[in-house]
């Protein structure tokens, strides 16, 4: 899978550009605030229909313009598709695949998988459980599209339940309605719990291997699912029962606080290094390596599940790594199309040997470098 070409009109700080891309390594070199991340973002938007930096499509349109256009030719299993996205500051976004307009505009399933590596990924280890839930939700949706549907459904029921809890302080008034919501919440929530558990289980096995390699067997990495719904084995009935009895036990408290205390919206993924919680015990350097491990494991997992490697977007991370880790990362570039940003020619280093296509970016102007 790869992106063959990209046309941007009024996207962020790009006026009108057209790029033909290499199906191997592409490098964008530019100083700060010239448009490197914007370009990776545009590639991500062409594949997924949305940004990895913002939920507000409007922000993607040039400050001084009303509309933006992102057109890309992407290739999946030898077949090329033309993806066209039109963003409008006041109207809804419009997406066309091979000139055919999609009915549901919000979700684009182009078939192209993308994994972003960015300095912000550190929040995966250091951040709140919410950051890890976002990672889980994004990753699982990439592999299993029905997951997104289950999650939306769960969130809708949760919102309705919380609204009900907030408007009434008296449990006799709302008991019957809560019973109905709880049945739905348990059903949708259990699917989410099972999917997350399975994903983390698979990811942990791959990650433990990769982390061994990256740390020369010095650190043992383990990922584990932490849910406030307790269960012994991964059995749907058992999880549903436990979820329901926990909700019942906490109902009075939930009515008092006006929120739902039990369910996968409070889950977390624990990351252990040598049996210690990495969020509090790992050094900054260790945390960086953990993030790299987890991201590469996700790449490997997508390959295992889907049969081809995702496109890699490496934003400002390559030159931060030491040479062993760089070499390891480079070994992934043989399998797939890769986009890398650098601030300086001098950081090219061993990337030069890969015969990359090099572009320079200056203030939204982009040039091929001979």
Buried b / exposed e across 12-48, counting CB within 10 Å, b at 16+?
bbbeebebebbeebbbbbbeeebbbbbbbbbbbbbbb
Rounded CA-CA distance 282/115 in Å is 24
Considering only 26, 34, 110, 142, the residue that binds ligand ADP (CB under 6 A) is: 34
Q: Going along the chain, which residue ranges are E strands?
A: 2-11, 14-20, 25-29, 67-76, 79-88, 94-97, 100-101, 114-117, 221-226, 268-273, 276-277, 311-314, 338-342, 357-362, 365-368
- To the nearest 10 degrees (0 to 180), the angle between helices 129-143 and 284-306 is 20
Q: How far is the CB of 277 from ligand ADP (least distance, A)?
A: 33
Is the dihedral angle over the CA atoms 108, 113, 117, 121 positive or is it negative?
positive
Residue 33 engages ligand ADP in binding (rule: CB under 6 A): yes
CA distance 263 to 240: 11
Stretch of 32-40, 46-54, 167-175, 283-291 lying at the interface with Mg ion (CB under 5 A) = 32-40
Q: Does 35 bind ligand ADP (CB under 6 A)?
A: yes
Within 121-145, residue ranges assigned H as helices are 123-126, 129-143
Q: What's the closest the beta carbon of residue 118 comes to Mg ion, in angstroms? A: 8
Site size toward ligand ADP, by CB under 6 A: 14
Q: Which two tokens stand for residue 75?
A: 């290739």
Specify the residue, 37 or 286, whose C-beta has the smaller distance to Mg ion: 37
- Residue 3 to residue 21: CA distance in whole angstroms: 7
Binding mask 129-168 for ligand ADP (x = CB under 6 A): ----------------------------------------
In sequence order, what DSSP letters do the residues of 294-315 get, joined into one string?
HHHHHHHHHHHHHSSPPEEEE-
First to last CA, the chain: 26
- Minimum distance from CB of 262 to ligand ADP (Å)? 40
Q: Which is nearer to ligand ADP, 12 or 196 (CB)?
A: 12
Task: Quote the CA–CA distance of 139 and 1 in Å, as a whole number.
Answer: 18
Using rule CB under 6 A, residue 93 touches ligand ADP = no
Shorter beta-carbon distance to Mg ion: residue 252 or 362: 362
Stretch that binds ligand ADP, among 42-50, 55-63, 164-172, 317-325 (CB under 6 A): 55-63
With contacts defined by CB under 5 A, name the span among 28-36, 57-65, 236-244, 297-305 that binds Mg ion: 28-36
138: CB partners within 8 A, 6+ apart: none
Q: Does 36 bind ligand ADP (CB under 6 A)?
A: yes
Please tell me the distance from the alpha carbon of residue 21 to that of residue 283, in angstroms, as a whole number: 38
Coil/strand/helix, residue 277: strand
Q: Does 26 bind ligand ADP (CB under 6 A)?
A: no
| Contact indicator for 278, 287 with CB cutoff of 8 Å | yes
Residues 219 and 286 sit within 8 Å (Cβ to Cβ) = yes
Q: Which is nearer to ligand ADP, 53 or 251 (CB)?
A: 53
Q: Measured from the CB of residue 165, what is the shortest distance to ligand ADP in angstroms?
A: 39
Q: Which of 26, 34, 37, 195 is close enough to bind Mg ion by CB under 5 A?
A: 37
> Does residue 279 bind ligand ADP (CB under 6 A)?
no
Which stretch in 1-9, 37-45, 125-133, 134-142 sits in contact with Mg ion by CB under 5 A? Answer: 37-45
Which of positions 283-302 make contact with ligand ADP (CB under 6 A)?
none
Binding-site partner at residue 12 among Mg ion, ligand ADP, none, CB < 5 to 8 Å by type: ligand ADP
Least spacing, CB of residue 34 vs ligand ADP, in Å: 4
In the complex, minimum distance from the CB of residue 19 to Mg ion, in angstroms, rounded to a whole number: 17
List of residues contacting Mg ion (CB under 5 A):
36-37
Chain residues that interact with ligand ADP, rule: CB under 6 A: 12-13, 30, 32-38, 59, 61-63
């Amino acid at each position: 899978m790869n992106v063959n070409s990209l046309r941007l009109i009024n996207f962020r700080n790009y006026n009108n550009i057209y790029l033909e891309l290499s199906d191997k390594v592409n490098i964008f070199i530019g100083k700060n605030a010239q448009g490197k991340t914007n370009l990776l973002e545009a590639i991500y938007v062409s594949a997924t229909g949305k940004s990895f930096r913002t939920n507000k499509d409007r922000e993607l349109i040039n400050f001084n313009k009303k509309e933006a256009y992102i057109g890309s030719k992407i290739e999946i299993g030898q077949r090329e598709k033309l993806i066209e996205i039109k963003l409008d500051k006041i109207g809804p976004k419009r997406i066309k695949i091979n000139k055919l307009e999609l009915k549901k505009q919000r979700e684009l399933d182009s078939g192209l998988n993308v994994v972003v590596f960015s300095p912000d990924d550190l929040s995966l280890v250091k951040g709140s459980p919410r950051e890890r839930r976002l990672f889980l939700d994004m990753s699982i949706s990439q592999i299993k599209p029905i997951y997104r549907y289950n999650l939306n459904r769960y969130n809708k029921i949760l919102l309705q339940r919380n609204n009900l809890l907030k408007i009434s302080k008296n449990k006799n008034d709302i008991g019957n309605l809560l019973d109905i919501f709880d049945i739905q919440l348990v059903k949708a929530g259990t699917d989410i719990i099972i999917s997350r558990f399975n994903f983390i289980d698979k990811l942990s096995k791959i990650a433990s291997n990769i982390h061994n390699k990256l740390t020369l067997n010095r650190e043992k990495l383990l990922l584990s699912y932490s849910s406030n719904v307790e269960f012994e084995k991964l059995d749907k009935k058992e999880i549903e029962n436990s979820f329901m009895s926990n909700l019942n036990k906490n109902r009075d408290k939930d009515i008092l606080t006006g929120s739902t205390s039990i369910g996968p919206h409070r889950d977390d993924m624990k990351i252990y290094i040598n049996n210690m919680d990495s969020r509090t015990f790992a050094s900054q350097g260790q945390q960086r390596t953990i993030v790299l491990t987890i991201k590469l494991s996700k790449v490997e997992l997508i390959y295992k599940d889907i049969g081809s490697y995702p496109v890699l977007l490496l934003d400002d991370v390559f030159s931060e790594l030491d040479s062993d880790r760089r070499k390891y990362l480079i070994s992934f570039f043989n399998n797939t199309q890769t986009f890398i940003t650098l601030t300086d020619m001098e950081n090219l280093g061993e990337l030069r040997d890969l015969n990359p296509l090099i572009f320079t970016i200056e203030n939204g102007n982009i040039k091929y470098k001979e």
